Amino acid sequence: MNHTALQLLLAGLVVLPLVGALAALLPAPPGLRGKNPDQAVLRHGVTVTGVVLAAAIALAAGFDHGHPARMQATTDLSWIPALGIRIHLGVDGISLPLLVLTALLTFLCALYTYFKMPTGPSPKAFVALLLTLEAGTLATFAVLDLMLFFLAFEMVLIPMYFLIARWGGAQKQAAAWKFILYTLLGSVVMLLGLLLIGVKSGTFDMVALATDNGPKAQLSHTVQLLAALAIGIGLAVKSPMWPLHSWLPDAHTAAPTVGSVLLAGVLLKMGTYGFVRIALPITPEGMHTFAPYLAALAAVGIIYGSLACLALVRKGAGGDLKRLIAYSSVGHMGFVLLGIASMTPTGVNGALFANIAHGLITGLLFFMVGALKDRTGSTDLDTLARSAPGPRPAGSGAAALLPAPSGAALYARAPRFGGLLAFGAVASLGLPGLAGFWGEMLAMFGAFRPAAGLSRPAFLTFMVLAGLGTLLTAAYLLLVVRRVCMGGSVDLAGAAVLGAADPDGETGADPDGTPAPAPAVPDLARYEYAAWTPLAALTVLAGLWPAALLGLTDPAVQQLLGGGK
């Protein structure tokens, strides 16, 4: 595909959602209104996001895969000459997968919303905000000017705030305010770092600044330290890095289903992408100084997220499944930050791979938890685990201790739904052969042998902590499957109990021992198959064929860490 066509495709990715957002607020033409105006605007959202996804796929198909380190589909126009700010767009092997992931997840969210609109105000505003959010996210991954990056980075905050505050669940106002205040405060600090780079180097061009013999030579060691610290704080809030993560569980718990999918699937990736695109190549000396601290906080985040999930999954804790997955994101993004902190091609490639894997897997999980709440009216783990006693295994010894799925458990009531939920859980824990495995493994390999000048004993310690985190992750996710899909209760002290043996009454049985009838749980609907199958299929594909993604990112990462060489 020629350069002009690629230029138009990349520009269209950014502009089309904005045009679609404006069109969503206008009255529908008479021939397109149909019988229900609300369905007409939801159909408009599916159409626009579908066109954007088609453009992203066409861009990926036309991309020169033989030279993924080279910026392609570039547009470079003067915008504010007095400040040296330019409309500079481009895509390489680092940003292309994130562009496609954003377009895919937004389309699937629009498709899901067409059939399951969240409770709230007019669908017009919902679709307009969804498309504005998509435009800002795509622009973040496509722009190559520091000021444009900041504007795109901020552009997503207002739509997400309103999606949470107007269409969210319990405590939505408090969660929305916490989200906006945390992220805005981080952005103000980040802006200072970006301005410092621009003033001291004389340019905001990210490509020029990433080259060793370019304007970056004007940045002294002190300037790089200050800029890396300021930019890192802003990006760490969005990533989210412990201890700047506390806005995330509240935002996820209160957000509507598609808000949680996009927040986990693409918005968190904006922070880690900024580390790779800006902090590593433009302020390498500053990053080298702060890398051990970043790695330490990442390792703490991995352990903290896993322990928080284990506390939530415990019987009687009143844990919320949606909140549990939010805390799991803190741990998973810790692996991404650990890979970045190693400052090696192996670690950074692992971080980029883990970014994509987390978007696919956690997006699927949030879709399913939202659907589970629609079916049962709750995401409380104790409520979901209450089930009628199933047939106990015949015989004695070990066979008699094996749990049997309860008649009211998800496997028995909605087997395809339960099976897909279990698939998402084992993919999230990093099962080999699925997408979650490669990113975490490569991030730990990067920590095993960090960049020259970094303390190897310290990074080996961080790698061991990350390895422990993988074990804890497997523990809490398998307990989730045990409780939600198989029924019964889980005692973390060592007792796994089913049916009448449950002393706390989690069986749902009547006092006389007669099993209470379990309410019906519909299995997967056709629109759910359509919205979730691509995520499951890509999770398997990325796990079995990691070279498809690593072949794109590795040359670009090598060039970025090599100072443009």
Q: What is the pLDDT of residues 520-538, one digit of tens each?
A: 677 788 888 888 999 999 9
Q: What is the pLDDT of residue 507?
A: 44
Residue 292 banded pLDDT, cuts 50, 70, 90:
very high
482, pLDDT greater than 80: yes
Helix axes 526-544, 95-115, angle to 10 degrees: 160
Report which secondary-structure segment, H or E, holds 74. strand 72-80
Provide the residue type at 372 as one letter: L
Pinpoint the alpha helices (H) of 63-117: 95-115
Q: Is the CB of residue 206 less than 8 Å from the CB of residue 71?
A: no
Residue 322 tokens, joined: 């949606």
d(CA 376, CA 15) in angstroms, rounded, equals 40
**Number of CB atoms found within 10 A of residue 547's CB:** 9
Instruction: Confirm whether pTM is higher than 0.85.
Output: yes
The whole-number average pLDDT for the span 372-397 is: 63
Q: What is the pLDDT of residue 378?
A: 78
Residue 498 tokens, joined: 């089913």
245, pLDDT greater than 90: no
- Rounded to 5°, the CA angle 318-320-324 comes to 120
**φ, ψ at 489 (rounded to 5°):** -125, 165
Query: Pairing mode, if any, of strands 85-91 and 72-80?
Result: antiparallel
Q: What is the pLDDT of residue 536?
A: 94
56, pLDDT greater than 90: yes
Q: What is the pLDDT of residue 508?
A: 46
Report which secondary-structure segment, H or E, holds 291. helix 284-313
- Rounded to 5°, the CA angle 45-235-451 comes to 125
**Number of CB atoms found within 10 A of residue 52's CB:** 28
348, pLDDT greater than 70: yes
443, pLDDT greater than 50: yes
Residue 527 tokens, joined: 């629109």
Q: Is the CB of residue 531 less than 8 Å from the CB of residue 44?
A: no
Strand positions, DSSP E, 461-500: 489-490, 496-497
Pinpoint the alpha helices (H) of 26-121: 37-62, 95-115
Q: What is the pLDDT of residue 394?
A: 42
Give me the count of residues in the chain. Answer: 565
Residue 554 banded pLDDT, cuts 50, 70, 90:
very high
d(CA 415, CA 524) in angstroms, rounded, equals 9
Residue 225 tokens, joined: 């330290």
d(CA 246, CA 527) in angstroms, rounded, equals 34
d(CA 21, CA 132) in angstroms, rounded, equals 6
Tens-digit pLDDT profile for residues 168-179: 887 888 888 988
